[in-house]
């Protein structure tokens, strides 16, 4: 029997054809709606794992996040990519775990060659060799974490002033 034809050989009426097409279209729309609803419910998890904008506790002079350092010393970009880490003793390493500097207990920051780059106060303010504030790190008063994050994010270049600061700590 030919498809769409009656036993008598006549074509199906317009109402029969349109009702079949309507049912198929309705069924297709229901399936698509259910699939979209399922996909959107899973999208909540995806949206929660992606941040909407830059985040972090390393801030530029205007207060915008330019990176982050966590309590384990891992330093990341404001979008979460790891760029280095800081050891509890103040040694600073890049993402490839290559030594790139040192932070001392008084907050002084040096590059791997021993050149002075700047310092970090106990409140987290970061200053370069010219005493200009270049940003801040909100690390709960931990100068090693703050200085390490500053070395990686603010002092990307390894060039310093080429001389060591005075041996006595700065007055605070």
Instruction: State pTM to two decimals.
Output: 0.62
pLDDT at 22 over 90: no
pLDDT at 74 over 60: yes
Predicted confidence at residue 37, as pLDDT, reads: 65
Q: What is the mean pLDDT of the chain?
A: 79
Q: What is the 3-state secondary structure (H, E, C) of 90-147?
A: CEEEECCCCEEEEECCCCEEEECCCCEEEEECCCCEEEECCCCEEEEECCCCCHHHHH
pLDDT at 123 over 90: yes
pLDDT tens by residue, 25-57: 777 777 777 676 665 555 444 444 455 667 899
- The answer to whether 74 and 94 are in contact (CB under 8 A) is no
- The domains of the chain are located at 11-50, 58-153
pLDDT at 15 over 70: no
Tell me the HSE value of 27 on the side-chain side, using a 13 A CA sphere.
Answer: 6
């Amino acid at each position: 029997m030919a498809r769409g034809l009656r036993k008598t050989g006549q074509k199906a009426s317009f109402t029969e054809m349109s009702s079949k097409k309507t049912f198929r279209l309705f069924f297709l729309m229901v399936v698509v709606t259910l699939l979209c609803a399922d996909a959107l419910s899973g999208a909540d998890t995806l949206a929660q794992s992606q941040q909407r904008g830059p985040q972090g506790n390393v801030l530029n002079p205007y207060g915008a996040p330019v990176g982050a350092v966590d309590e384990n010393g891992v330093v990341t970009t404001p979008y979460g990519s790891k760029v280095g880490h800081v050891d509890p003793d103040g040694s600073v390493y890049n993402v490839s775990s290559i030594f790139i500097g040192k932070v001392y207990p008084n907050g002084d920051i040096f590059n791997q060659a021993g050149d002075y780059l700047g310092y970090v106060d106990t409140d987290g303010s970061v200053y370069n060799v010219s005493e200009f504030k270049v940003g801040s790190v909100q690390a709960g008063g931990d100068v090693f974490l703050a200085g390490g994050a500053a070395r990686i994010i603010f002092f990307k270049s390894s060039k310093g002033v080429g001389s060591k600061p005075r041996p006595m700590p700065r007055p605070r």
